[in-house]
Structure 1
Amino acid sequence: MKELNYPKVFLLLAALSGATLAVYKGVSLRTDTFYAFLIWNLFLAWIPFVFSMAAYELDKRRAGKLLLLPLGVAWLLFFPNAPYIMTDLVHLTVKKSLYIVDGTIQNRYWYDMAMLLLFTWSGWLTGFFSLYQFQSVIYRKTNLLWSWVFVVAACGLGGYGVLLGRVYRLNSWDVLTDRHQLYQLVIDSLNRQSVFFSLFIAFVLLALYATMYCLMNALGRGERGVHLR
């Protein structure tokens, strides 16, 4: 795997988030602040990146090995918040009467759609870079095959997390604060429709992540920066 310059990656993601917030500000001044909740959702998408960066740096320096497992668990709990932003596109349908008046699509529809897509892109890219960091950690400790097993499992859990968040309205911290509710939701979600939804989202995540991975590795130039120990 190619080792990335993560200070530059951080600056890139921060700039993208800044641009996303600027677009939101411009749209909200022209319309209203209905989509203010997207700011919170974008913040949640950054949390897994913070955990993955900490784990990546600790492993790179061969320090704090005991912290890798709790960082990994915390990352898994918050990772679904990144792809979850995509589901906020549902509001384009919920607010249909506001966007289509007398059979005419209002300009606000295009403003809000572009803004939602930008939030989605920013959240997904941040989540994918955090996944790449943890894959790099697994790769260092095992091999490329096991690192991809981890990616597939993470995408599967990510798809299931999106289901719990959007359909069952479960938050990441509910796992720690309300285990009874979590257990009940897991039981309720064990049905064909929910399994298909989770696998569908997982496949989409895996397809997009694999594309990004190939762009950074197979199509990139330069020396390999991450080696087996």
Structure 2
Amino acid sequence: MTLDKRVRYLQNNQKVALLAFISGLAVTLLVFRILFHNWDFIFLVWNLFLAWIPLIFIKWVWEKESRKQLPFWLLAACLVVWLLFFPNAPYIITDLKHLRSVPETMIWYDAILIFMFSVAGFLTGLYSIRIVHRIISRRWNQELAWVIVGISMVLSGFGVFLGRYGRWNSWDIVTQPGALARGIFSSMRDPLAIKHTLAFSFVLMLLYFAFHIFAELKHNEGTHKYS
């Protein structure tokens, strides 16, 4: 491994460590809530775990692709698998709906708690899609990478709607594909689904664009060049 590759490897691990730290803070807040109140929000741990799956998976794909270019069909299959799980990352923000049932005495603590889980989920998702961006731009070009990112954001917005309102999960494509297909076709005719998808995908794209620009500026600052 060259020195440049070692530096990039350490930097990527630092990013994962930072995301793990933020996730750990969120879980710590939940532990205190459980100790002094109740277990109502334990499901947040599972949702955060699901948010980490696409990042861990695509990081593994990126490492394989960096060593030796994967066959086109295998890389395409890996990207599809990543996309199936990616909506789990931004999905956590919808857990804010549970604040409606929180007693007045716990409202601020629980708001901060869910916010921390949402930040952790969003950041893991943004980092995972940046890796996808890098894979595609390195394999083909930047233009195609942005097209894939944009399509992924729209599909993710629709996936969040299916998860929150339809109560579908990523693995339902294997366990009950027929019912999921019917749910998708039904949702495609739902005006709420269209509005939700457009709004959510717009916010995701805006956040990713800011995330990408910031990451590029940091990269160029470190290498003292712009490309």
| Aligned equivalent of 1:52 | 58
Note the alpha carbon deviations across 1:26-72, whole angstroms, 9 max, x for none.
12222111000000000000000011101111111124435322221
State TM-score, norm by structure 2: 0.89
Q: Counterpart of 1:197 in structure 2: which amino acid?
A: H
Note the alpha carbon deviations across 1:46-102, whole angstroms, 9 max, x for none.
000011101111111124435322221110000000000011100011x0xx423xx
Given candidates 149, 152, 155, the residue that maps to 1:154 is 152
| Alpha-carbon contact 1:52-1:75 (below 8 Å) kept | yes
| Aligned equivalent of 1:37 | 43
Q: Counterpart of 2:42 in structure 1: which amino acid?
A: A
2:208 is the counterpart of 1:202 = no
Gaps of 5+ in 1: 101-105
| Aligned equivalent of 1:28 | 34
Q: Counterpart of 2:206 in structure 1: which amino acid?
A: A
2:81 is the counterpart of 1:77 = no
Secondary structure of 1:34's counterpart equals coil
* Correspondences of 1:1-229 after superposition (within 5 Å): 5-65=11-71, 67-93=74-100, 95=101, 98-100=102-104, 106=105, 108-191=106-189, 192-218=191-217, 221-223=221-223
* CA distance in 2 between partners of 1:34 and 1:200 (Å): 29
**More relative contact order, 1 or 2 (CA 8 Å, 6+ apart):** 1
Q: Which has the larger helix fraction?
A: 2
Aligned residues: 215
Percent of aligned pairs sharing the same letter: 35
* CA distance in 1 between partners of 2:26 and 2:148 (Å): 30
Secondary structure of 1:222's counterpart equals helix
**RMSD, matched Cα:** 1.8
Gaps of 5+ in 2: 1-7
Note the alpha carbon deviations across 1:176-224, whole angstroms, 9 max, x for none.
1111111110121022221111111000101111111111114651238
Secondary structure of 1:135's counterpart equals helix
Shift of the 224–90 alpha-carbon distance from structure 1 to 2, 3 Å rule, reads: farther
State TM-score, norm by structure 1: 0.88
Q: Counterpart of 1:90 in structure 2: which amino acid?
A: K
Q: Counterpart of 1:86 in structure 2: which amino acid?
A: I
Q: Counterpart of 1:99 in structure 2: which amino acid?
A: P
